[in-house]
A and B are shown apart, each in its own frame.
Chain A
């Protein structure tokens, strides 16, 4: 159960990192179509992965920019990322 959650989060982490790198590359290469195509592809996949994660484990991002929550409010749940999980 914990392994499944961790595996999904690790996949999100990898795809989001690729998107961060592409975002920075595009900031200095705004006309690069290939980089842009890859960024858009990752953005789509990330949205799907995060939807799946949040459906099972609650919101991954705050202030309503992710999913809703079950009761009691899931956002506060431990562990927070600075504690080993």
Chain B
């Protein structure tokens, strides 16, 4: 089961509203390569793994991704919170404001809603872990794209931090893939 600790894994303290930046960052909230997609991918794959190391890693990284989902949600919230309605309209985000005002909703910046179609749970451990490696690379690349666009140091800092986590997760999933190959080889010999 899950518990909630009342703190962010890494602080998010954005002082200057910027709805346009919010509409970019939100891709890591409800977009194809974002934290919600990652979390649900791993938490769904974890049920069907042949070795306990794989179940544990998917469980634990899936859980950490929820903490990242919360961080990105905090970024989006703080970027929109005190922006006047006119700023939404003038930066092309009138449609978002019309449907959501300044609230969070898992979607891309252009309003494409989150979907389970963003991730797979193939049931084949090698395919699943290979997808997980790709997911971590896509998330890293997305954070780099966001870093290319960000100017505010309060925005850059958590983006930088979240990007580093993707590199670490890639390493961890790589180690699990190695173990799954060993398991596969073990099963070949009676």
> Are chains A and B touching directly in their complex (CB below 8 angstroms)?
yes
Interface of B is mostly: helix
Pick from A9, A28, A60, A61: contact of B57, CB below 8 A. Answer: A28
CB atoms of B3 and A82 under 8 A apart: no
Residue of B nearest to A77 (CB): B6
CB atoms of A65 and B8 under 8 A apart: no
CB atoms of B9 and A82 under 8 A apart: no
CB atoms of A60 and B6 under 8 A apart: yes
Q: With an 8 A cutoff between CB atoms, is B61 at the interface?
A: yes
Residues of B within 8 A of A20 (CB): 9, 64
Pick from B4, B57, B70, B172: contact of A82, CB below 8 A. Answer: B70
CB atoms of A24 and B57 under 8 A apart: yes
Residues of A within 8 A of B138 (CB): none
A residues 31-76 with Cβ under 8 Å of B? Answer: 59-63, 65, 75
A residues 13-31 with Cβ under 8 Å of B? Answer: 13, 16-17, 20-21, 23-25, 27-30
Q: How large, as a class, is the contact surface on chain A?
A: 20 to 34
Q: Which residues of A contact B (CB under 8 A)?
A: 9, 12-13, 16-17, 20-21, 23-25, 27-30, 59-63, 65, 75, 80-84
The 10 lowest CB-CB distance pairs between A and B, nearest first, are: A28-B175, A82-B74, A27-B56, A27-B57, A81-B8, A84-B13, A61-B5, A62-B4, A24-B172, A65-B3
Sample of 20 A–B contacts (CB below 8 Å): A17-B10, A23-B60, A24-B60, A24-B61, A24-B64, A24-B172, A27-B60, A27-B176, A28-B175, A29-B175, A30-B53, A60-B7, A62-B3, A62-B4, A62-B6, A80-B6, A81-B6, A82-B70, A82-B77, A82-B78
